[in-house]
Amino acid sequence: MVNKQRTIEKILEPPAPHWVGDAFRVHNFFPGNGLMTLQRMSPFFLMDYGAKIEFPATETPRGVGVHPHRGFETVTIAYHGKVAHHDSAGHAGVIGEGDVQWMTAASGVLHKEYHEKEWSKKGGMFQMVQLWVNLPAKFKMSPPKYQSLERKQFGKYLLPNDGGEVEVIAGKYNEVVGPAFSFTPVEMYNIRFNSGGKADFSLPQSYNTGCVIIEGTVKINNQPIDTDHFVLFKNDGTNFTMEASENAIVLLLSGEPINEPIVPYGPFVMNTKEEIMQAYDDLNKGKFGYLED
């Protein structure tokens, strides 16, 4: 049916955190978490949510050293703090508050991520999201790609009655288009509510859809959702509403599922075990390039 309300399937509390390197303390909402299969949020394969944490000043930036990826994209969204990136395809960049780094590993890269040097010297509040976005089989061996997207580049839709704005990173909201290129249809918005703000959404019923509450508390279809919680929607309709009685930020994700086998192993997401073995063989043969640690 058209225009049927999309209902909430699960509200996930933040799982116990773990460290990625010494820079990123993250709550892994999916896959796994007892509720989320490998396919449930396809094309989004993984979400690591770094809730707010204060880092002391240091002369040695914290980070994750050189490591490989193949078969998918990493998307890092900064809310507090700054992250520096380098990869073996020659891409480098720094993202600050509100910015997005969209790295397509595809056929294979080595990369490293660190707290930005000058930010590390001062320390401060840090909060981020990293997503792994799967690639269809026909694109998994494409050349690596890198998109550095500043907040000022995002499409912006102003909500009525000074209710805030919807920042469109990818996809389209009320005819406002986001700048990110994606290999499959993806909707990715930062909804920044002012107190009293309200927004309506309509997304294809077949799209897997979820959101994480970055700041504040919001009501989704009149159900209150607390900060740092993830909401998984059913694929039973198209429309839902959000409203905020206080300033709030919500990251909304929706995308057309990739209906193909998924075989993940370590830093690789492929379609078969043979492709995983080939990835390790190519890595050992130096085909991912070189990057100094």
Whether 290 is in a domain gets the answer no
Judge whether 3 lies within some domain.
no
Q: What Rg, from alpha-carbon coordinates, does the chain have? A: 19
Evaluate whether residue 249 is within a structural domain. Answer: yes
Give the C-alpha distances (Å, rounded to integers) separating 159 from 107, 151, 280: 40, 18, 48
Check pLDDT > 90 for residue 257: yes
List C-alpha distances in Å: 227 to 19, 125, 186, 291: 20, 16, 24, 38
CB 174 within 8 A of CB 157: yes
Residue 37 belongs to domain with CATH number: 2.60.120.10
pLDDT per residue as tens digits for the range 200-255 = 999 999 999 999 999 999 999 999 999 999 999 999 999 999 999 999 999 999 99
Q: How confident is the model at residue 3 (pLDDT cuts 50, 70, 90)?
A: low
Q: What angle do CA 277, 280, 285 make, to 5 degrees?
A: 125
* Structural domain count, the chain: 1
291 is a domain residue: no
Residue 2 scores a pLDDT above 80: no
Q: Which domain holds residue 61?
A: 8-284
Residue 137 located in a structural domain: yes
> How does pLDDT run across 171-200, given as a tens digit for each residue?
999 999 999 999 999 999 999 999 999 999
Whether 2 is in a domain gets the answer no
As given in the structure block, the two tokens for residue 84 are 């520096």
For residue 1, tell me if it sits in a domain: no
Q: Is the pTM here over 0.85, yes or no?
A: yes
| pLDDT over 60 at 118, yes or no | yes
Q: What is the pLDDT of residue 83?
A: 97
103 assigned to some structural domain: yes
**What is the rounded average pLDDT of the residues 245-269?**
97
